[in-house]
Amino acid sequence: MQFGKLFYIHGIWIVIAVALFLFWTFKRRHTLLRLFAQSEMLKQITEHVNIQKQKYKAALLVLTLLFIVFALIQPKWGYHWEKIKRRGIDVIVAIDVSRSMLADDIKPNRLDRAKREILDLIQMMSGDRIGLIAFAGTAFVQCPLTLDYGACRMFVDELNPTLIPRGGTQIGEAIQKAVSAFEGKEKKNRALIIITDGEDHDSNAIEAAKLAAEKGIRIYCIGIGTPSGSPIRINGKGRKKVYLKDSKGQLVLSKLDENTLKKIALITGGAYIQSSASGIELDKIYKDRIAKMNKTDLQSTRKKRYESRFQWPLAIALLFLIMESLITDYKK
């Protein structure tokens, strides 16, 4: 036997309280009547009252409440098999984890803000599969397409610049990894979100974008950072925060390169969005653009569905209530 809402089992305490209250009222009334009159007079006063029927009525009332509680917890027995089809969109998020993402022109820094936005995106998804690709000087699939949002959150938490020791930003390789990660031949439900500062290092990003367009993948590029640039804060000796410098001792500035990202989005029919100081607005991109794409069947399973039987205890409770109302506590 299964139960739909076992929380309502706590209603049994109300039934017990009512039963104890009725028992107390019977005892209390009997005590007060004995104080009111002597036994002979008491018999004359109460000769038309049937005490036994009053007890029956109280018992029926308690049983009515008991079966109402039983109906509220929604007992289920017996089952049938139901075929369930999931419809949704495949979304892969490719996030830049190079050291340039440690620039703090977006607070607290570009990478941490991007991670927060991805977690918010996962929170609002329902039925869509999500995957995760991390890239810097190379790219790899951090989390394959899945409906297990909890597992994907764990992978997002692990993102940091030490994940890929090889420096640089290979956007083209990230796109190629995404093309390989999408399954099947459908071309209607695929979206790739690229979050990066756009400093591409000769990775043939435009050619990779053309391949993605042929596969029906729309790419939404999010440029994170500012065109004017920002210094990169890294851990120095003793984990003290220092700014990254080149071999000549000059401060390294990470600048947002929008041109490449705009071209990638244009080729695939997606869009380019520049982040602002307030955030990336990843949720808005998902609601306004990705969620409106054509959805396809992502998964088909058979699930055991138990039959709800709350009607039976509810009917019994109604029967007891009718019986209680029909019984009179007066003698004929």
Other Cβ atoms closer than 10 A to 216: 15
pLDDT above 90: percentage of residues in the chain: 28
Residue burial 62-86, b: 16+ Cβ < 10 Å; e: rest: bbbbbbbbbbbbbbbeeeeeeeeee
What is the average per-residue pLDDT within 199-224? 85
What's the CATH architecture for 85-300?
Answer: 3-Layer(aba) Sandwich (3.40)
Instruction: With residue 133 as reference, give the H or E element that holds it.
Output: strand 129-135
Query: For residue 12, what are its two tokens?
Result: 């049994």
Q: Residue 20, Cα to own-chain centre: how many angstroms?
A: 43
- What is this structure's pTM? 0.62
Q: Has residue 257 got a pLDDT over 90?
A: no
Q: Residue 297, Cα to own-chain centre: how many angstroms?
A: 20
Question: Looking at residue 277, what is its pLDDT?
Answer: 64
Dist. CA 160–CA 142, nearest whole Å = 12
Pairing, β 241-243 against β 233-235: antiparallel
CA distances from 215 to 90, 187, 221 (A): 13, 6, 17
> Could you give the residue ranges of the DSSP H alpha helices within the chain?
12-36, 39-45, 51-72, 110-124, 149-157, 171-181, 205-214, 258-268, 282-288, 311-326
| Band of pLDDT at residue 305, cut at 50, 70 and 90 | confident
Range scoring the smallest mean pLDDT among 98-112, 119-133, 208-222, 284-298: 284-298
| Band of pLDDT at residue 301, cut at 50, 70 and 90 | low
Question: Looking at residue 297, what is its pLDDT?
Answer: 58
| Band of pLDDT at residue 142, cut at 50, 70 and 90 | very high
Angle in degrees, CA 203, 204, 208, rounded to 5: 115
Question: Looking at residue 176, what is its pLDDT?
Answer: 92
pLDDT digits (tens, 9 = 90+) for 158-179: 998 888 878 778 889 999 999 9
Question: Looking at residue 52, what is its pLDDT?
Answer: 80
Structural domain boundaries of the chain?
2-74+310-326, 85-300
| Band of pLDDT at residue 102, cut at 50, 70 and 90 | confident
Give the CA-trace dihedral at 144, 148, 154, 159, to 10 degrees. 30
pLDDT digits (tens, 9 = 90+) for 175-208: 999 999 987 656 667 899 999 887 666 668 889 9
Question: Looking at residue 201, what is its pLDDT?
Answer: 60
Sign of the CA dihedral running 15, 18, 20, 22: negative
CB 96 within 8 A of CB 136: yes
Closest CA to 289 of 271, 314, 310: 271
Q: Has residue 49 got a pLDDT over 90?
A: no
Question: Looking at residue 326, what is its pLDDT?
Answer: 86
CB 125 within 8 A of CB 92: no
Question: Looking at residue 26, what is its pLDDT?
Answer: 85
pLDDT digits (tens, 9 = 90+) for 264-286: 999 999 988 887 766 677 878 88
Question: Looking at residue 157, what is its pLDDT?
Answer: 92
Q: Has residue 95 got a pLDDT over 90?
A: yes
Helices (H), strands (E): how many in the chain? 10, 13
Query: For residue 34, what are its two tokens?
Result: 């004995």
Dist. CA 41–CA 37, nearest whole Å = 6
What is the average per-residue pLDDT within 218-228? 83
Dist. CA 69–CA 314, nearest whole Å = 9
Dist. CA 157–CA 313, nearest whole Å = 48
Q: Has residue 132 got a pLDDT over 90?
A: yes
Range scoring the smallest mean pLDDT among 10-24, 89-103, 247-261: 247-261
Q: Has residue 291 got a pLDDT over 90?
A: no
Q: Which amino acid is at 247?
A: S
